[in-house]
């Protein structure tokens, strides 16, 4: 199903997103990604502003279903 809805006037689209930075299964921090330039900054800890950033990248249907089943929420993604 497809539908349209009006985006609230208070919505602000951030220029940044975040992604986990893992090497060989070891969590090393977070990449804060500038969406336009794709420049990344590595941070070991996230401040309150960065905790509100959306994931960087695209979720496929299987990942969406998995996260819905796990009751995944952006505010709990730490």
Instruction: Tell me the pLDDT tens digit for each residue of 45-64.
Output: 998 889 889 899 888 999 98
pLDDT at 74: 80
Assigned domain for 10 exists: no
Assigned domain for 61 exists: yes
2-47 pLDDT, tens digit each: 889 898 999 888 899 999 999 999 999 999 999 999 999 999 999 8
Assigned domain for 7 exists: no
Domain count, the chain: 1
Mean pLDDT estimate for the chain: 91
Q: Which domain holds residue 65?
A: 16-76
Nearby residues of 29 by Cβ (< 8 Å), 6 or more positions away: 21, 42, 43, 44, 45
Nearest CA-CA partner of 19 in 47, 49, 58:
58
Please report the sign of the dihedral spanned by the C-alpha atoms of residue 54, residue 63, residue 28, residue 40.
negative
**pTM across the whole model:** 0.73
């Amino acid at each position: 199903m497809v539908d349209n809805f009006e985006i609230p006037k208070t919505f602000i689209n951030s220029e940044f997103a975040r992604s986990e930075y893992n090497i060989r299964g070891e969590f090393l921090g977070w990449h804060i990604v500038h969406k336009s330039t794709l420049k990344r900054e590595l941070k070991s800890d996230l401040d309150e502003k960065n905790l509100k950033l959306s994931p960087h990248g695209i979720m496929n249907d299987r990942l969406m279903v998995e996260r819905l089943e796990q009751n995944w929420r952006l505010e709990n993604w730490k």
